[in-house]
Structures are given as C-alpha cells and as structure tokens.
Amino acid sequence: MPISPVHHTNLSVTDLERSIAFYRDLLGYRITMRSAVARPEFQRYVHVDSETTGEMVMMQTGDDPNVGTIELVQWSPAPATTTPPKRPGDPGVWLIAMQVVDETLEDVRERLSAQGVEPWSEIIEIPLEGYPPFRGMVVLDPDGLAIELIELPTREQVRAFRAAWRERQRPSS
C-alpha cells in the first residue's frame, strides 16, 4: 500500500521571524497557518516535556494544501545546547530539494546574493543514470539546513530521455 507524497516537513528553528522571512521573502512561500504549540496532546505526540511550548507556522508555495508544506517551529524554552545541521553522511535529513519555477537558477542566485545569502555551492549540471541532466545549487537556510534549488527538465524531456535510454539498454542482436 503506497503512502501519499510528503504532506509537510517540520523544521525546528532558532528564530521564527528570521526563518519566515527567508522562506517567504527569498523562496516565495506564504504563511497558511500560525499557531501556538502548547496543548498537552501535542506535547505527548512529539515527546516534549510539559513545560515546552512553541510557536509554529505552516508555509507553502503551490495551490495544493496537501503536499509540499513546510512547518517552522520555534520551541520555548530553547534547548540549552543544539546540534549542528546535518551534513552528507550524517543519518537523518541533511537537505531539502525545492524546484525552481518561473525563473532561472541564475536569477535566484542573484536575488539571494542581493539579500546577503551566498550559495553553499555553485550552479552545476547534475547527470543521473536514467534521468536527463538537471541543474542545481545549494544554499543554507538561517539555521544552516541545506536547501537544494533545482531546475528540472520538462515531462516531455524526461519521457524522450527515458525512451532513448531504454533503447540503449536493450541487448544488441
């Protein structure tokens, strides 16, 4: 039984307003819900002690409220110590990929640089087996989470590439 696409991803943040500004003003997300996190049921649900509360916002870009949403939560009291952001090889989530639409990666890089956000990586072409090359770059959010911004080929380009790829995979007679 398949599970549906990812509904939302929850990110703990150190400064809710700073993170809202990053995802809203720089990446184009909009706030769709804002709420306190203080109910006993929620505390039991996510295993925080009864003194822990927080504030959350749900943010999304598309019209479908059922997929692709980001939930930002600032916890109170803040942990005395925090762990550094994950990096490649660390177990757990170290990167979230987001598709760039209606502009180029160069436009995004220029817009982000104008706001003081420098890329963590340059724009590169990424070749994969069985999928057409696509372009991407990585930036870090205010808490150091890697955000991969990608330009994907069209559905037609993917279909044509895969048909040609399958043809090349057939044994020659």
Closest CA to 72 of 107, 108, 32: 32
Whole-angstrom distance, CA of residue 11 vs CA of residue 55: 12
Summarised one tens digit per residue, pLDDT across range 105-163 is: 999 999 999 999 999 999 999 998 888 999 999 999 999 999 999 999 989 998 998 88
Residues 57 and 94 in one domain: no
Residues 108 and 143 in one domain: yes
Instruction: Give how many domains the chain has, as a whole number.
Output: 2
Summarised one tens digit per residue, pLDDT across range 118-127 is: 999 999 999 9
Domain containing 161: what range? 83-173
**Predicted structure pTM score:** 0.87
Q: What residues are paired with 98 via a beta bridge?
A: 149
